[in-house]
Structure 1
């Protein structure tokens, strides 16, 4: 009976829910794992599965060493399966409806304050070729929230500075249009026109915006080292990486009142829940206000 309904479940996800192939496979795999666990208990039919059985399955996953995130992801597939069975009137009651996902502690990213961002930007000596290039790169990182891989792969033909946008190639070769601020445009154009134009560009690297002294595309490691040296120079005690600029971009936008959906689009996040980790500063501030001023705090 399990095999038959797992097959129907897969068809439902594909045809009625219209989920991507990867999501369909993951959901079916999760439900299949539960059926395998039931086999270990003596081959319980899916109509006999109880809430205690599913809690036992989660405990079994924990004993196998699966972290809370993996358990929660697997539980979401199982919940989808039993929700389908209720929709099809195979079951009257969903045994998963009262089961909560394992608690997930999402690590909050390091964030730079705006004055700290300015400190790092201004630590670049723009009178030198290297300093002018690095100032432009970091202006772009903070202005547009790019991933380091997106920065090193940024191409001149994808920069529409007159319109204030860049076309960025992100994860999974997905492209998106990202706004770029005035300061980032100004420093990048200065670099392209006065520094990059004097570099002997190597074959195959003609379209990359940011180049090293040998005329080749910069590497991710080089960006990390540039930022590490600047942070040491200004004396910041935080752990700062290219991703810190991305986190700061998102946090400062949301602190300023930007819509989560807009920030999600700019960051290239597929899920809004990924973007929601950037709301932590607002929540911390609200907690501080309550603690300080509420008579019952």
Structure 2
């Protein structure tokens, strides 16, 4: 922990807790540390009975639980890693579905699925397997279309776009079960094809004054503020996706040519963007005065020890929400306003500046100009020029 530059107070807390844990194990004649032993120790010290190392806890319990959990993970992996404790119970596959579930996880790797996609798909599959287990279904061979219909009924209040995702994941999993011989009936073919038109949704875009307020509220004297300011500039000014910013390496910066060259994670397409002056100075300020010492080759790293790269599911939503509240920015209810909405704002600004769709498409790294055409709907002034006079139409 000292080598990874943990705070002295954190190391001191860990040392105290783990020495106490060792004393507890000696008194109980326990020679091997397990999760169960750790939870017994935590109950003894705090009075809190845990079902597992997940869920929320009070501050006192957390100060005892964190060192024990860190040690258990270190014993298993040999590494110190940053992690956020899950608020829900980790998934335990019902015994009757373990074989096919493990095979399907291998299938992800063979198909080169992104980590974020695997997590999203597994969330749905976990709910399906838990549902089947609760219904008394002991193996995949007993799955029927009626059961799948009942499972889908749980999503009747969900938005159509998410329902389409659920159906897609189920079709994918059920097709795998049929091809692998775990089920005999082709249930996947009976699932409906839900067509969600991309043009059916209007991307949310920010007002220019709100973007300025967002950037101005960031404390650029703070190391973390320097990092967050640079990240937001890369999205606001260049339209980069969060997934690409997370993976951006020092080698992607060409200071002599003032360019950023990356291969986008979503499209696997190479793109080269200019290091604009404000972005360049923000990056220099962060790299020289804000970035912690780390062995990571990523440009942006966590500012809590160990100073590692961000995980594949980090979307910076928490930081964005905090800055929005500090800046007093109000978002209409029912509107999803994340980092991607700032990317939409760049598209809107380029449209208002009369940039051709082909240029906007190249800047945003779209595979098809049809994707870029979605943003035409947020160019209100441009749409007004397209309005027809009903009297002229019906003359």
1:118 pairs, out of 180, 187, 212, with 212
Write the mapping of 1:1-297 to structure 2, written as runs, cut at 5 A: 65-69=192-196, 105-170=199-264, 171-196=266-291, 199-201=292-294, 203=295, 205=296, 207-213=297-303, 214=305, 215-219=307-311, 220-221=313-314, 223-238=316-331, 239-282=336-379, 284-288=380-384, 296=391
Q: Give the conservation status (yes or no) of the 8 Å contact 1:68–1:104.
A: no
Which stretch of structure 1 is more off in the superposition, 178-187 or 216-225?
Answer: 216-225
Taking structure 1 as the reference length, the TM-score comes to 0.59
Deviation at 1:209, TM superposition (A): 0.8
Q: Secondary structure at the match of 1:178?
A: strand
In the alignment, the residues of structure 2 paired with residue 106 and residue 168 of structure 1 have an alpha-carbon distance, to the nearest angstrom, of 31
Deviation at 1:273, TM superposition (A): 0.6
Deviation at 1:294, TM superposition (A): 6.2
Deviation at 1:276, TM superposition (A): 0.7
Q: Give the conservation status (yes or no) of the 8 Å contact 2:206–2:341.
A: yes
Q: Which residue of 2 aligns with 1:33?
A: none
Q: Which residue of 1 aligns with 2:36?
A: none
Structure 1 unaligned blocks of 5 or more: 1-62, 70-102
Structure 2 unaligned blocks of 5 or more: 1-189
Q: Which residue of 2 aligns with 1:27?
A: none
In the alignment, the residues of structure 2 paired with residue 67 and residue 109 of structure 1 have an alpha-carbon distance, to the nearest angstrom, of 21
Q: Give the conservation status (yes or no) of the 8 Å contact 2:205–2:341.
A: yes
Deviation at 1:104, TM superposition (A): 6.7
